[in-house]
């Protein structure tokens, strides 16, 4: 059924039996997922199934209650201080809301990781930032604007430019197309594919946009009630043989996944 | 009857536990922030920006507060002291009142309202829009980037603001004393400085530094832990101002006792 285990020996990220609860609410319930080196894995699943929590546990923004998370074979659960900083240097992330810093100009947002994280001079970092912005289709003049002056699609592109600016080994995409029109969503998908191909980065994305998942994934995994219930190559998702996956990809209200909706 | 008693005890227990948890969270936050204050990197550009925001931009509101406080203090002391023919003490009591108490306390409270609220709102918005998580993924420690510059700027700038408030407050008293109450200008100034001691001013400045730290700490703490969108940020802002104000008044008593050993 499941192909969570890409290849243990070459796994860039390896999550084993990860548990996370908030009070009585169990969010991750023994999650297992491996992401191979240079692989693009997309995790699909409904709202509240633990997708974002999974990403935050890998990044150390949340601490798992149990289980193991390895990055390049190195255990990161419970890691802190300089070791955590060293591991975080490998990551870039595009947030769902883009999470741009309001107080900084667009180019300063893109150059942030280079200036603060890598200690590059502002002039050099600006040059790199403008190159990365051009890569996602944004002109120099946009660099001097504030994030609040941009449309949602442009903010996502700035977020993408920021995520790739430090040329990370691993990039996380949190709902990269949510809130965008289908055309702009596809533009973002194309940019993600192009940028990732150029960097040769490993990517882990979460989304409930199937079109986006089909476009950017080498492998798709489905999360349900805090566990990976199916994983396989993208071209096999339509023949998964899993009732949960079928219901999700066809967007049916009827099926094994029951939404907790009170009807009048 | 037994059930009512049990519920009452349970309610007290819940309040006690939540108070203890909040105290623990604040202690850990403070210790973490202080440890980051003494380890590099420190961001000078951010520190300067916060010093401008807390110090320079608070000058108008602090100046207005100080001048009216000095003026009203002169009127009240004159009116009170005239009951036992001690009007001559107006200048001395005004300067001691301003430097020891009203300068630092009112400046602290005004800055809590102006700056503490803004800090909680800004950091709270960053929290709920994932900007703080973004900082972490960009290899930047949020404590160093957001909290440390505000704490240092608060502790450094409040004494300077209080020094300005002391001068403006005493000038307010002087204006009312000479223009309205009929004091001779030279003797008012003589009386102002004759009984003023160094400790009056220094204790006020030490208080100011503590109050600045409290204002920044409460603004950062409540903003950092805000949850749940606009409503959460609103609650964080209110909590920052209320808790900073209460802590300022409590710290004022403690520091006064320590300084003057009454």
ipTM rounded to 2 decimals: 0.83
Q: Across residues B213-231, what is the average pLDDT?
A: 91
pLDDT at B56 over 90: yes
Contact A20, A60 (CB under 8 A): no
pLDDT in tens, A11-45: 888 899 999 998 888 888 888 989 888 888 999 88
| Confidence (pLDDT) at A3 | 45
Closest residue in A to B145 (Cα) is A116
Interchain pair B133, A61: CB under 8 A: yes
Three-state DSSP state, B232: helix
| Confidence (pLDDT) at A51 | 86
Integer Cα distance of A184 and A191 in angstroms: 10
pLDDT at A119 over 70: yes
The counts of H helices and E strands in chain A are 9, 10
Q: Closest by alpha carbon to A101, among B132, B72, B10?
A: B132
Domain ranges of chain B: 44-260
Integer Cα distance of B212 and B105 in angstroms: 11
The runs of H, that is alpha helices, within A60-117 are 81-88, 106-112
Question: What residues of chain B, 95 to 134, have a C-beta less than 8 Å from chain A?
Answer: 122, 125-126, 129-131, 133-134
| Confidence (pLDDT) at B2 | 67
Q: Closest by alpha carbon to B25, among B250, B224, B205?
A: B224
Contact A218, A55 (CB under 8 A): no
Residue of higher predicted confidence among B85 and A72: A72
Interchain pair B140, A112: CB under 8 A: yes
| Confidence (pLDDT) at A9 | 54
Contact A176, A189 (CB under 8 A): yes
Q: Across residues A62-75, what is the average pLDDT?
A: 89
Produce one character per residue of A104-121: b if its CB has 16 or more CB atoms within 10 Å, e if not.
ebbbbbbbbbbbbbbebe
For chain A, say whether B138 makes contact (Cβ under 8 Å): yes
Residue with tokens 């070459």: A10
Residues of chain B with Cβ-Cβ distance to A61 below 8 Å are 133, 136
Residues of chain B with Cβ-Cβ distance to A99 below 8 Å are 129-131, 133-134
Interchain pair A99, B130: CB under 8 A: yes
| Confidence (pLDDT) at B69 | 94
pLDDT band (50, 70, 90) for residue A4: very low
Residue with tokens 């009454």: B262
Integer Cα distance of A113 and A92 in angstroms: 9
Residue A7 Cα, gap to closest chain B Cα (Å):
26
Residues of chain A with Cβ-Cβ distance to B134 below 8 Å are 93, 95, 99-101
Residues of chain A with Cβ-Cβ distance to B229 below 8 Å are none
Interchain pair B139, A96: CB under 8 A: no
Q: Closest by alpha carbon to A96, among A137, A145, A40, A152?
A: A152
Contact B183, B75 (CB under 8 A): no
Integer Cα distance of B71 and A2 in angstroms: 79
Interchain pair A162, B137: CB under 8 A: no
What is the fold, at CATH topology level, of the domain defined by A1-90+168-178+190-264? Rossmann fold (3.40.50)
Alpha carbons within 13 A on the beta-carbon side of A159: 31
pLDDT at B211 over 90: yes
Closest residue in B to A116 (Cα) is B140
Integer Cα distance of A117 and A250 in angstroms: 43
φ/ψ of A47, rounded to 5, equals: -65, 145
Residue of higher predicted confidence among A250 and A68: A68
Q: Closest by alpha carbon to B114, among B251, B212, B226, B16?
A: B212
Contact A14, A8 (CB under 8 A): yes
Interface mutation vs chain B, best among A86, A113, A119, A204, most B CBs within 10 Å: A113
Domain ranges of chain A: 1-90+168-178+190-264, 101-167
Closest residue in B to A56 (Cα) is B133
Q: For residue B257, how far is the Cα from the chain centroid?
A: 18
Interface mutation vs chain B, best among A93, A122, A159, most B CBs within 10 Å: A93
Interchain pair B140, A116: CB under 8 A: yes
Of the candidate ranges A53-57, A212-216, B3-7, B154-158, the one whose mean pLDDT is the lowest: B3-7
- CB-CB neighbours of B182 under 10 Å: 9
pLDDT at B242 over 60: yes
Interchain pair A59, B145: CB under 8 A: no
Q: Closest by alpha carbon to A105, among A142, A156, A152?
A: A142
Q: Which residues pair with A36 in a beta bridge?
A: A11
Contact B108, B219 (CB under 8 A): no
Integer Cα distance of B37 and B148 in angstroms: 6
Tokens encoding A19: 């548990």
Interface mutation vs chain A, best among B46, B139, B143, B227, most A CBs within 10 Å: B139
Interchain pair A101, B134: CB under 8 A: yes
Interchain pair A117, B129: CB under 8 A: no
Strands (DSSP E) along chain A, which ranges?
A: 11-22, 25-36, 40-44, 66-71, 74-75, 91-94, 170-174, 202-207, 219-224, 227-233
In chain A, the percentage of residues whose pLDDT exceeds 90 is 9
Closest residue in B to A89 (Cα) is B139
Integer Cα distance of A125 and A198 in angstroms: 20
pLDDT at A249 over 70: yes
| Confidence (pLDDT) at A136 | 80
Nearest-CB residue to B137 (from A91, A101, A103): A91
For chain A, say whether B136 makes contact (Cβ under 8 Å): yes
CB pairs under 8 A between A and B: 52
- CB-CB neighbours of B29 under 10 Å: 17
Q: What is the mean pLDDT of chain B?
A: 90
Alpha carbons within 13 A on the beta-carbon side of A215: 20
Question: What residues of chain B, 189 to 228, have a C-beta less than 8 Å from chain A?
Answer: none
Contacts of B225 (CB under 8 A, 6+ apart): B25, B127, B236
| Confidence (pLDDT) at A263 | 59
pLDDT band (50, 70, 90) for residue B95: very high
In chain B, the percentage of residues whose pLDDT exceeds 90 is 60
Strand A219-224, strand A227-233: pairing:
antiparallel
For chain A, say whether B32 makes contact (Cβ under 8 Å): no
pLDDT at B241 over 90: yes
Residue A92 Cα, gap to closest chain B Cα (Å):
6
Of these ranges, A182-186, A210-214, B78-82, B237-241, the one predicted with the greatest mean pLDDT is: B237-241
Residues of chain B with Cβ-Cβ distance to A112 below 8 Å are 138, 140
**Cα A9-A10-A16 angle, rounded to 5 deg:** 70
Largest CA distance in chain B: 74
pLDDT band (50, 70, 90) for residue B116: very high
């Amino acid at each position: 059924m499941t192909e969570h285990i890409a290849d243990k020996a070459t796994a860039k990220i390896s999550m084993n039996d990860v548990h996370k609860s908030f009070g009585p609410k169990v969010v991750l319930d023994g999650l297992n997922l491996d992401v191979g080196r240079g692989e693009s894995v997309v995790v699909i699943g409904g709202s509240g199934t633990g997708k974002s929590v999974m990403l935050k546990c890998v990044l150390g923004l949340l601490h798992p209650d149990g289980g193991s998370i390895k990055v390049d074979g190195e255990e990161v659960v419970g890691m802190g201080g300089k070791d955590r900083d060293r591991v975080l240097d490998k990551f870039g992330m595009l947030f769902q809301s883009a999470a741009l810093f309001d107080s900084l100009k667009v180019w300063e947002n893109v150059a942030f990781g280079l200036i603060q994280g890598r200690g590059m001079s502002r002039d050099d970092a600006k040059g790199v930032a403008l190159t990365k912005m051009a890569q996602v289709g944004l002109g120099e003049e946009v660099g001097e604007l504030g994030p609040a002056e941009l449309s949602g699609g442009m903010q996502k592109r700035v977020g993408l430019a920021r995520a790739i600016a430090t040329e990370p080994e691993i990039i996380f995409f949190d709902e990269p197309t949510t809130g965008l029109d289908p055309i702009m969503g596809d533009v973002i998908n194309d940019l993600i594919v192009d940028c990732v191909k150029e960097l040769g980065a490993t990517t882990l994305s979460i989304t409930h946009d199937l079109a986006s998942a089909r476009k950017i994934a080498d492998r798709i995994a489905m999360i349900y009630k805090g566990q990976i219930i199916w994983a396989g190559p993208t071209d096999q998702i339509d023949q998964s043989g899993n009732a949960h996956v079928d219901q999700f990809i066809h967007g049916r209200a009827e099926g094994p996944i029951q939404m907790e909706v009170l009807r009048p | 009857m037994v059930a009512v008693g049990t519920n009452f005890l349970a309610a007290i227990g819940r309040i006690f536990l939540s108070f203890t948890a909040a105290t623990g969270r604040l202690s850990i936050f403070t210790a973490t922030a202080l440890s980051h204050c003494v380890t590099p990197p420190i961001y000078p550009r951010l520190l300067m920006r916060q010093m401008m925001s807390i110090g320079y931009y608070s000058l108008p509101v602090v100046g207005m507060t100080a001048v009216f406080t000095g003026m009203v203090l002169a009127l009240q002391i004159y009116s009170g002291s005239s009951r036992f023919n001690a009007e001559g003490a107006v200048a001395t009591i005004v300067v001691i009142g301003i430097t020891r108490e009203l300068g630092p306390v009112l400046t602290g409270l005004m800055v809590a309202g102006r700056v503490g609220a803004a800090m909680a709102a800004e950091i709270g918005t960053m929290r709920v829009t994932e900007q703080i998580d973004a900082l972490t993924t960009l290899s930047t420690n949020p404590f160093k980037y957001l909290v440390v510059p505000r704490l240092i700027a608060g502790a450094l700038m409040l004494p300077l603001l209080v020094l300005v408030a002391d001068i403006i407050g005493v000038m307010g008293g002087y204006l009312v004393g000479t223009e309205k109450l009929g004091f001779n200008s030279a003797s008012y100034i003589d009386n102002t400085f004759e009984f003023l001691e160094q400790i009056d001013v220094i204790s006020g400045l030490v208080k100011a530094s503590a109050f600045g730290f409290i204002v920044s700490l409460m603004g950062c703490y409540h903003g950092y832990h805000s949850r749940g969108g606009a409503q959460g940020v609103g609650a964080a802002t209110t909590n920052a101002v209320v808790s900073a104000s209460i802590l300022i008044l409590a710290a004022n008593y403690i520091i006064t006792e320590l300084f003057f050993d009454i």
